[in-house]
Structure 1
């Protein structure tokens, strides 16, 4: 590692630990810095500036393997599974870190792929927009949902800290939408209400790799987040407002979102 990079990392570590002496994921003492979203999500290691967070070593290290799987999955969404040589590279990476997932990842085509596209998009017209170079679909195992749910919790806690300025160990509510879902007027209106847009850069614009629109009000962070060419969009709400919490609990009971439960730690006053 060059001296310039070492100095930059040391400076980011100092700045992150000045923001809080507690881990943003569990509330315990912070003794490391977590770059989130992780560097592996970005090309050429160009992770965005100012997205370094105080974390304990256990949380920082404990989520590393999940991040690798999710990062590869997100990158695979932007590739043609048949023609793009990088697709196989990402599959090989998942196979090495999580062989149980690799065994269940497959490329489907023909009529099976057309049915899958119709289910994903909702109708034949929207499915036709998704079908590029013939109907080829990557079929991922249902167990990937657990990774994405965990990832949504980390997103909610890190972005709450980033934009509200406090540690949030309470509930996080998430739903993952396909891009085509935003053809629905009510979802488009909701997206339009999220008017704040962060600067995602490190010397150059990184918003084509990571981007979100958000709203902060009354101890609540609400955002729509996506990576690369969005095949799907994360909707995340993290709040310490009782009214917002109850509303989202109703959404959860109606099957509209998933509730990620609070982190239970003693002696933490941040939530």
Structure 2
């Protein structure tokens, strides 16, 4: 049996499982396909981790495609060791230019002074910047398109990881925020991390690839909470997914939190 046939048989077997009978995003039971999230474009040589496959209807799966390619570019930029000479980065850049040219146009280069200030704050001082070989690096700031794409990504993570760890299609709201790399030094951050007891193993064909994608989570009936990072992160993503019946009536999304509004089947 050829690789293509074996792969197709694997998808059929996956979609035949009782828990995979509805789209993880909209709840539809029609025209189901297999979605990989995080997307292949987030990983070196597109080698995505094992166990991160989800049932998705064709409409939802296809609708995410161009956004995921642009997100591959943004995620590669979040790596401190990004190199514009790497073929992976150039491929992500071409995809972003083709599918989301506005994303590229909106990137705003910070002045040398602001870039220096940003690097010192992020890495913990001028000595740390020098030790990292980043003296003279220029920072860029995302525009509305980039921020919107990252918010979409957080919603998809809320839906897929809630499904993975709670074994049901999510219906509710996702809240998300971003923390700078320097937050890892804060006691409050370490306290939150210590309470997230779920530490999944991220593997591809048996090899540990948690250096490319790592998260800690806490899942309960009606809720999922996680802190995620990619590669060597400049920022951490904090995601809270709460089902409709568990959303507090007085919930506020102030202080830099994004609130999705209703997602999933209502």
- Shorter-chain TM band: 0.7 to 0.9
Structure 2 unaligned segments of length 5 or more: list them: none
Conserved? CA contact 2:176–2:240, under 8 Å: yes
Residue 48 of structure 2 aligns with which residue?
A: 47
Q: Could you tell me how far 1:142 is from its partner in structure 2?
A: 3.1
Native 8 Å contact 1:175 1:234 kept in 2: yes
**Distance (Å, rounded) in 1 between the aligned partners of 2:148 and 2:5:** 35
User: 2:28 is matched with which residue?
Assistant: 28
Change (3 A) 1:178 1:210: same
Confirm or deny that 1:239 pairs with 2:205: no
Equivalent residue runs for 1:14-93 within 5 Å: 14-18=13-17, 19-30=19-30, 31-78=32-79, 84-86=84-86, 87-93=89-95
Give distance in 2, aligned partners of 1:32 and 1:220: 26
Aligned length: 258
Question: CA 1:16/1:193 → structure 2, altered by over 3 Å: closer, same or farther?
Answer: farther
Q: Under a length normalisation based on structure 2, what TM-score does the superposition of the two structures give?
A: 0.85
Instruction: Check if 1:261 corresponds to 2:264.
Output: no
- Secondary structure of the 1:177 match is strand
1:7 paired residue number: 6
Instruction: Report the alpha carbon displacement of residue 186 of structure 1 after superposing the two structures with TM.
Output: 1.4
Deviation at 1:239, TM superposition (A): 2.2
**SS of equivalent to 1:53:** strand
- Report 1:44-193 matches (<5 A): 44-78=45-79, 84-86=84-86, 87-105=89-107, 107-108=109-110, 110-117=112-119, 121=122, 125-126=124-125, 129=128, 132-193=134-195
- Tell me the CA shift for residue 127 of structure 1: 7.0
- Partners of 1:223 and 1:96 in 2: how far apart? 32
Q: Could you tell me whether the CA contact under 8 Å between 1:173 and 1:248 is conserved in 2?
A: no
Per the TM alignment, residue 112 of structure 1 is displaced from its structure 2 partner at its CA by 3.3
Partner SS for 1:239: strand
Structure 1 residues 179 and 107: alpha-carbon distance in aligned structure 2, compared to 1, 3 A threshold: same
Question: 1:197 — aligned with what?
Answer: 199
Q: C-alpha separation between the residues in 2 aligned to 1:46 and 1:232?
A: 23
Alpha-carbon distance, 1:32 to partner: 0.8
Secondary structure at 1:143 match in 2 = helix
| Partner Cα separation in structure 2 for residue 9 and residue 133 of structure 1 | 49
- The separation in 1 between residues aligned to 2:240 and 2:152, in whole angstroms, is 14
Structure 1 residues 80, 36: CA separation in 2 closer, same or farther (over 3 Å shift)? closer
Name the residue aligned to 1:227.
Answer: 230
Kept after mapping to 1: 8 A contact 2:27/2:264? no
